Amino acid sequence: MTRTILITGTSSGFGRETAERLARDGYRVFAAMRDIASRNRRHADALRSQKIGVVELDVTDDGSVDRAIASILAEAGKINVLVNNAGIASVGVTEAFTADQAKAIFDTNVIGLLRVTRAVLPSMRRERDGLIINMGSVLGRVTFPFVGIYGASKMAIEALTDSIRLEVSQLGVDVVEVQPGAYPTSLYSSIQRPADGDITKSYGEVGQIPDAIYKTFTSMLQGKNAPKPHDIAEAVAKLVGQAKGSRAARTVVGTSFGADKINADIAPVQKAVVDGLGLGHLEELA
């Protein structure tokens, strides 16, 4: 039976590549994005032309999420795989970001992921089967200066992924994470910059470093040897195709900046903590 897959944030980048890749594999794919009748209409039409279902979904809006999930379940009957991909990035002096800016980033990257997960999990629990793939980042493991807010949101995804994975393991649901390095996607073209320019200026030469970082990464990601976003789609496709219970908790894709080593170092510590709580059985997927 064909599995049904929902992917958030599919207007471009990792989400778009992943939707197209999984559709070619024969899965029934629903690509979720905002503004499908206006700003993203062209992207929605392009996906529909490939026989990919397109659904209006704003991860920052409870009603939008609930309506989208209800419509997919009404049409397809179930959601076998959820790929939580929607996200926004930021770079700049952390002090120069307003609290409202930080809230907006967390509302999309963290609370948005939780909203969609909460909407999908009841149907997966009823089926006692399902796979959730969260799009993290190597910045959820290592810290770059001037990317503190975005990095903090990705570190939050680490905790959510581990906790939910253990909580639903006995209910037949697998929860894993993909940790991309730097890739040329619209995440960079729409990157959030700090609103308080006066604070940035007050940092003097240090305040100019974020612009230099941004230019360096932009240049690197536009070169002929730039990494391809399709790598992420391939990693997701591999996870979807793997047998239940055999998937790695984390998959680093691209330049790791040491995140792979941190994953390896933390894994036995995390296991010891869970075992120490007498909950070691939660580490095995039922």
Catalytic residues: 150
H/E element, 225: none
**Residue 70 burial (CB count, 10 A):** 11
Measured in whole angstroms, how far is the alpha carbon of residue 2 from the centre of its chain? Answer: 24
Structure tokens at 209: 């470093």
Structure tokens at 151: 């990095």
**Residue 23 burial (CB count, 10 A):** 18
For 75, what's the count of Cα atoms within 13 Å in the CB-facing half-sphere?
A: 15
Q: What strand order describes the sheet that includes 4-7?
A: 53-56, 28-33, 4-7, 81-84, 130-135, 173-180, 250-253
H/E element, 183: none
Structure tokens at 119: 């909407």
CA-angle at 36, arms to 32 and 41, nearest 5°: 125
**Residue 166 burial (CB count, 10 A):** 18
Residues in contact with 3: Cβ distance below 8 Å, sequence separation at least 6, in sequence order: 27, 28, 80, 81, 240
Alpha-helical (H) ranges within the chain are: 13-24, 41-48, 62-76, 99-106, 112-127, 148-168, 186-189, 197-202, 209-222, 230-241, 259-276
Distance between CA 178 and CA 53 in Å, rounded? 23
